[in-house]
Structure 1
Amino acid sequence: MNIQEYINSYAEWLKSEISFTKVGEYYEINTPFLDNDNDYLQFYVKQDGDELYFTDDGFTINSLEMTGFSFTSNRKKQLTLILNQYGVQLQNKELILKAPASQFAQKKHAFTQCLMRVSDMYMTSRTKVGSYFLDDIQAFFKENDIFCMENVQFTGKSGFYHNYDFAIQRSKYKPERLCLAINNPSKTTMSNALFAWEDTKPSRRADSKLIVFLNDANGIGRGIEDGFQSYDVNPIRWSKRSDNLDLLTA
């Protein structure tokens, strides 16, 4: 496998699928990533001097609420964690990010990831009542004495920052393991995770591993697990988590 060729191919595809339109003082940017309605994610950006201003114009939160999603105290806490992870602010249901113009690529990437993560909270209204997938994983780790760091960030070969939900430190017998929680396993979320991992790997130890927790409460798309395994990533179905303790423990 020529992994660099695949990464370059993905980057070229991503570049060709992003489009923009001038709307007043803003540029509307359309991405190839899907939200909870299977519509392409879009947001707006403008430049004021040396500063960029990204906004979703309130679409993400309003879209969630239109599905009947309600922000319980626990979901509000999780929303805050997601926003802090990507440096995004919430003002009157509008998600915004301010950044120096010189950081456009990194901040556009971070803002896109944030919108995807917030939109993905829709799945909690279908599969959970008062909990969130990350909470379940944290409880599972605590129950099984799996000690880790939460919400870690690494810079990839491209210069983009990539966030991981957990990092399990290497031990005498096991390598470093980075973990991602994927609440809505789809080709889009799989591609996003693989791009982040392949971009991150060169900056980590050669034996570092990626583990993805897949919420299979509503099923998993065809080929998702095989796709991860073909890149030497370890997918764990949430319903089978207890069968995979050996991957997680020291």
Structure 2
Amino acid sequence: MDIEKYIDDYTNWLKSEITFTKIGEYYEINTPFLDCKNDYLQFYVKQDGNNLFFTDDGYTINDLEATGFKMTPNRKKQLSSILNQYGVHLDHNDLILSAPATEFAKRKHAFIQCMLKVNDLYMSSRSKVTSYFLDDIQDFFTEKEIYCFNNMQFVGKSGYAHNYDFAIQRTRNMPERLCLAINNPSRTTLSSTIFAWDDTKPDRPKDSKLIVFLNDSNKLGKNVEDAFHNYEIDTIRWSERNQPANIHLLTA
């Protein structure tokens, strides 16, 4: 294996795939690296004396927000950690990096890595995405003045403990409502949710309800909702959370 040749081939290919265009005082640089939508990453750089200034012109953050990605406190904390790692700062929505002109290659590489890492917030691990979905629901509850308890645990008739993401206390018109957030609805999550509720319900007040928030940013099969409804479990699609019937279910 001629590894040195392969590395040379890679660097030659990389160089051939990078293009640039002069736009005003900046150069627009297009790279062969792909974002989460399979678009090629591009950024802008200009020189002022002995210093270089890199910017993505707001593309990375704006693109995230266009997908419905919301900057909750946890996400802002992770974003700040990524920016600090690569020496990049945020100006409004623009990623900005300044560096000595002598460090162009190293800082260009760091800036591209930063853009990719920030873009990957959209493709975070499932556990983090679930955490973010919970953040979004909590923000929604705050916005609608829905007062609840977080992360409640109840022991079912089997003796097993089951966790619920939110619990809304009973009112004059509505019973106790327990809520679960399901970021990736599947047969497995459906079965485990139904088992947990079937195990918990006998030890809760007789009219208690379970409400499941379903993240429908990806395709959601109707059979998932039908299965929940067969067990008298209410569902709220995240995209339909502001519908009057859903607001009534949570606030009445």
Q: TM-score, normalised by structure 2?
A: 0.50
Instruction: Write the letter of the residue equivalent to 1:105.
Output: A
In structure 2, the residue matched to 1:120 is 120
Question: Does the aligned pair in 2 maintain the 1:72–1:130 contact within 8 Å?
Answer: no
2: distance between equivalents of 1:31 and 1:108? 11
Structure number with the bigger relative contact order (C-alpha 8 A, sep ≥ 6) is 1
Instruction: Write the letter of the residue equivalent to 2:77.
Output: K
Distance 1:60-1:126 versus aligned 2 partners, 3 A rule:
farther
SS in 1 for 2:68: coil
Instruction: Write the letter of the residue equivalent to 1:21.
Output: T
Deviation string 1:150-178 (CA, Å, 9 cap, x unpaired) is xxxxxxxxxxxxxxxxxxxxxxxxxxxxx
In structure 1, the residue matched to 2:44 is 44
**1:133-144 equivalent positions in 2, closer than 5 A:** none
SS in 1 for 2:131: coil
Instruction: Write the letter of the residue equivalent to 2:91.
Output: Q
When the two chains are superposed, the root-mean-square deviation of aligned CA atoms in Å is 2.0
2: distance between equivalents of 1:41 and 1:49? 26
Question: Deviation at 1:126?
Answer: 7.3
Structure 1's consecutive aligned runs of 4 or more residues displaced over 6 angstroms after TM superposition are none
Question: Deviation at 1:82?
Answer: 0.8
2: distance between equivalents of 1:12 and 1:131? 40
1: distance between equivalents of 2:35 and 2:77? 21
SS in 1 for 2:60: helix
2: distance between equivalents of 1:86 and 1:106? 11
In structure 2, the residue matched to 1:77 is 77
From the CA coordinates, give the structure whose radius of gyration is larger: 2
2: distance between equivalents of 1:73 and 1:10? 40
In structure 1, the residue matched to 2:131 is 130
Question: Does the aligned pair in 2 maintain the 1:69–1:125 contact within 8 Å?
Answer: no
**1:26-37 equivalent positions in 2, closer than 5 A:** 26-37=26-37
Question: Deviation at 1:124?
Answer: 3.0
In structure 1, the residue matched to 2:67 is 67
2: distance between equivalents of 1:53 and 1:102? 12
1: distance between equivalents of 2:6 and 2:132? 37
Deviation string 1:124-167 (CA, Å, 9 cap, x unpaired) is 397713259xxxxxxxxxxxxxxxxxxxxxxxxxxxxxxxxxxx
